[in-house]
Amino acid sequence: MDPMDHLEELKQFARLHAGGQGMSPGHTAEVLARIGNDTPGDARSWAAVWTAAGRAAATRGDLLDACRHYALARFPHPADEDRALAQRLCVDAFDQWRLRQGGIERLEFGHPEGTVVCWASGLDRGRPLLVVMGGIVSVKEQWAPLLPLFRKLGFAAVVAELPGVGENTFTYGPESWRTLSFLMDRLEGRARVTDTSMLALSFSGHLALRAAAEDPRIRSVLTVGAPVADFFTDEAWWPRVPGITVETLRRLTGSADEGELRSVLAEFALTPERLNGVRIPVRYVASSRDEIIPARDQALLHRSLADVRFKTFDDVHGSPAHLGAMRRWLFSSLLRLRFTRRNRFLPKPRTSLSERPS
């Protein structure tokens, strides 16, 4: 890929992730205007400029804003030392912020395949579990500021990362859906894991759908732009996939080249038979001009799932121009599904003698 094309792709994706973290378009544009290249060690490079903005925010005492900038400095993945540094600064800044706030804890789980690190809030064995996970380029620190809100809504909430992203050291592969079951196993006794909701965005939405076909503890899946089948197998669609997406997937899967990556991805595709095992509500935000996920993936879900609803925005992947409306729809769907499940199992009120039929 031409270096300038690569830089323009970075800037395009950054606008989505900056907006999702609450940065104003004006500030994002101002930072992007100072970036001249993506050469490690250069003062005008991608990582250097975003990191400098993060340090400035930390200096004025705004640790959460610093964290946002560091998350973009390490974007799309820590492939060089500058980005690796930004990754560490991102975690450290959030850690300092959550210690000052209180109510958010760090969880670290070891596994033969690696380590899973999460931020959590509201853990209680009586509360339904909510697992929040981003896609292939977003770290848990982007979503963790929402934890106090999820706690207030009554959830035991955990924000985790897709295998290979951030502090998750697993390799991303066709069996990565087991990471979600692993998390539920480890949270047994600290949340009501038999009533788990998945707010799983983009590629983690695919993991949640796959896991839901096997694990009955998952009671609902809410996702945005999740790949299902054709993304992984359609030869005609693949040339349209952005170079950053391809390179990030190659790194996360440990593939030597694009040819090996395509072979590995073919094993990810969910068949109609597999999807028939997903017998829970699925709520899906689609983008009509999605440049990453083909519309046929949503059509497959529509044909295969018994309870699926879509909210479609006229936008590109992730619907960056509709973040507020998207978040409202997801949160209202999450609460509606929780309320429905809770009432389904409540005992029916007893009828008084005056109300009983004679």
- pLDDT tens string 275-314: 999 999 999 999 999 999 999 999 999 999 999 999 999 9
Within this chain, do residues 232 and 258 fall inside the same structural domain, yes or no?
A: yes
343: tokens are 């009432």
List the CATH number of the domain containing 160. 3.40.50.1820
The answer to whether position 355 is within a domain reads no
Give the C-alpha separation, 163 to 171, whole Å.
6
Within this chain, do residues 195 and 50 fall inside the same structural domain, yes or no?
A: no
With a cut of 50, say whether residue 11 has pLDDT above it.
Answer: yes
pLDDT score of 85: 98
Mean pLDDT value of segment 324-337: 94
Q: Which residue has the higher pLDDT, 187 or 340?
A: 187
Within this chain, do residues 240 and 177 fall inside the same structural domain, yes or no?
A: yes
The answer to whether position 277 is within a domain reads yes
Cα torsion 151, 153, 155, 156 to 10°: value is: 0
DSSP-derived 3-state class of residue 206: helix
pLDDT score of 3: 53
Q: Whole-number mean pLDDT of the chain?
A: 92
Within this chain, do residues 141 and 125 fall inside the same structural domain, yes or no?
A: yes
Within this chain, do residues 307 and 212 fall inside the same structural domain, yes or no?
A: yes
Give the helix/strand (H/E) hosting 196. Answer: strand 192-201
With vertex at residue 208, the alpha carbon angle to CA 294 and CA 69, rounded to the nearest 5 degrees, is: 80
Q: Which residue has the higher pLDDT, 140 or 3?
A: 140
Within this chain, do residues 52 and 119 fall inside the same structural domain, yes or no?
A: no
Within this chain, do residues 67 and 111 fall inside the same structural domain, yes or no?
A: no
Q: Please state which of the ranges 46-50, 243-247, 274-278, 352-356 shows the lowest mean pLDDT.
A: 352-356
pLDDT digits (tens, 9 = 90+) for 64-123: 999 999 999 999 999 999 999 999 999 999 999 999 999 999 999 999 899 999 999 999
With a cut of 60, say whether residue 54 has pLDDT above it.
Answer: yes
Q: How many domains are there within the chain?
A: 2
pTM for the complete prediction? 0.92
* CB-CB contact of 119 with 147 (8 Å): yes
pLDDT score of 318: 87
Give the contacts of 189 (CB within 8 A, at least 6 positions apart).
Answer: 125
Domain that holds residue 20: 1-102
The residue type found at 181 is S
With a cut of 70, say whether residue 144 has pLDDT above it.
Answer: yes
